[in-house]
Amino acid sequence: MKDQPALPDRAWPRAEGSWGRSLRIFTERDIERIPALQRLPREQRFAMRVVARVLPFRVNEYVIEELIDWERVPTDPVFQLTFPQPGMLDPADFERVAHALRRDLPRPEVDALAHEIRAGLNPHPSGQQELNVPRLDGLPLDGMQHKYRETVLFFPSQGQTCHSYCTFCFRWAQFVGDQDLRFASREAQTLHTYLKQQREVTDLLITGGDPMVMKARHMERYLEPLLGPGLEHVRNVRIGTKSLSFWPQRYVEDADADELLGLLERLVEGGRHVALMIHQNHAQELRTPMAEEAIRRVRETGAVIRSQSPVLAHVNDDAASWSELWRRQVRLGIVPYYMFVERDTGARRYFELPLARAFEIYSAAMANVSGLARTARGPSMSAAPGKVEVNGVSEIAGERVFSLRFLQARDPAWLHRPFHATFDPTATWLDDLKPAWGEESFFWEEDFAAFRRRREMHSMTAVADGCEA
């Protein structure tokens, strides 16, 4: 571990242009101070304040001024993605908070109400904590998850926030100050010790929040030791981030931008596959010269950029949005990786789509892109037993069925083996589905139940998406 930040190996030339925007952030308390919002009716701003008391709100000036088309508000996809909308809360909850704000109740009272409403929104689907937390010498490692044999997820404590917040994101539990809900670890040492013992782990996935909010010197503490002895088996380093969309300046003109790129380059030169797992919901996020410049500079390090994102009502629930996103990504050298189905947490009621609809969007978008963009798999549910892809809808043995398969599984033996569920046009998640042809269970269910009994776990929903994977 070093005290001095390492110097970049070489200078990273910048494109010409006028840059220089500072990271100016607005949160719930600043809603009335956002100039762009002044054009909206007062009632609409009030509704935003109501929702932002419950769900986290944070947006920066770059997103407001360069990614949102204010002419198209409220339907603009990036506006929907970052600004609180009335439909995100249950109408009764909305009214309770609205009432409290109108009566000007003291802040702690409104906080208590907001806390109660959040608690009802299921901030921790699937016992993510209990089921996937690894142990070192018998002690649980809080800042990590180890669900699939080859991959360890690490949540650095300095990376548990984001440059802006996505309104759909289940990570909100981590952002709203419920400290006990945080997964975090200050322990780079613990991470490396655990990895040294786990010889089957090939992939380290750094996630958050958004780990790219961290200073480069923190990132170095976590990643540089991978090049040292004992960690040769960790071949692939992925960093989950939305920064290419929300703050591309991170790679261009932040004070330590070059230091960060230098780190990525050293890992690549050390023989590691380095991937930025970016999260992009809409092509609009790619439209600025700053974003293009950031992509160019990241790719110059030899790191690969792969993109994944959920399909969401109000944001990207149409095939044209996806084919445009994938086409633009391919043009810029980004590899489309996953389309996720949104899971049951937070503002689910607002964003969720039936699986059948998600599959329609996916297949229509695929039909409209080059084979180079058909690397995106999905629509995929990150459920407790693994990532389950909806592969098709067909008529088999007299029944309309969903064909499904695991893209990632708790037991690698389950991978890529097709299984079928009775078609249900309203189903939105794996646990809404019933095995086809009256069969009693899916082929993997017995093994999975045994696994859960071993872990004394009973819940069966989701585990991961967003910026995580």
Ligand X SMILES: *Cc1c(COP(=O)(O)O)cnc(C)c1O
Give the position of tokens 């404590």. Answer: 157
HSE-up (13 A, CA, CB side) for residue 175 = 25
Does residue 466 touch ligand SF4 according to CB under 6 A? yes
Instruction: Lay out the site mask for ligand X across 189-228 (x = CB under 6 A, - = otherwise).
Output: ----------------x-----------------------
Instruction: Lay out the site mask for ligand X across 403-442 (x = CB under 6 A, - = otherwise).
Output: ----xx----------------------------------
d(CA 116, CA 444): 37
Cβ of residue 35: shortest distance to ligand SF4, in angstroms?
A: 23
| CA nearest neighbour of 77 among 368, 281, 297 | 281
Binding residue (CB under 6 A) for ligand SF4 from 279, 297, 357, 405 = 279
Q: Are 405 and 390 in contact (CB under 8 A)?
A: no
Q: Take residue 347 and report the two structure tokens written for it.
A: 């503002």
198 Rama sector, left if φ>0, alpha if ψ -120 to 50, beta otherwise:
beta
Q: Take residue 341 and report the two structure tokens written for it.
A: 């189905």
By CB under 6 A, the residues from 133 to 192 that bind ligand X are 145, 147-148, 151, 153
Q: Are 203 and 235 in contact (CB under 8 A)?
A: yes
Return the amino acid letter for 344: D
Does residue 208 touch ligand SF4 according to CB under 6 A? yes
Binding residue (CB under 6 A) for ligand SF4 from 147, 242, 306, 420 = 242
d(CA 442, CA 334): 36
Nearer to ligand X, 245 or 308 (CB): 308
**CA dihedral sign of residues 343, 422, 339, 360:** negative
Cβ of residue 265: shortest distance to ligand X, in angstroms?
A: 23
Return the amino acid letter for 392: G
Does residue 311 touch ligand SF4 according to CB under 6 A? no
| CA nearest neighbour of 58 among 157, 154, 171, 155 | 171
Contacts with 237 (C-beta within 8 Å, 6 or more apart), sequence order: 203, 204, 206, 223, 226, 267, 272, 273, 274, 275
Does residue 165 touch ligand SF4 according to CB under 6 A? yes
Element spanning 114, H or E: helix 107-119
Binding residue (CB under 6 A) for ligand SF4 from 54, 166, 388, 409 = 166
d(CA 465, CA 383): 10
Q: Which stretch binds ligand SF4 (CB under 6 A): 92-100, 116-124, 165-173, 430-438?
A: 165-173
Cβ of residue 183: shortest distance to ligand X, in angstroms?
A: 12
Does residue 387 touch ligand X according to CB under 6 A? yes
Choosing among ligand SF4, ligand X, none, which partner's interface includes residue 153 (Cβ < 5 to 8 Å by kind)? ligand X
Choosing among ligand X, ligand SF4, none, which partner's interface includes residue 463 (Cβ < 5 to 8 Å by kind)? ligand X
Cβ of residue 468: shortest distance to ligand SF4, in angstroms?
A: 7
Q: Which stretch binds ligand SF4 (CB under 6 A): 33-41, 205-213, 326-334, 435-443?
A: 205-213
By CB under 6 A, the residues from 25 to 44 that bind ligand SF4 are none
* Interface residue list for ligand X (CB under 6 A): 145, 147-148, 151, 153, 205, 382, 387, 407-408, 463-464, 469
**Which parts of this chain interact with ligand SF4 (CB under 6 A)?**
162, 165-166, 169, 171, 208-210, 242, 279, 466-467
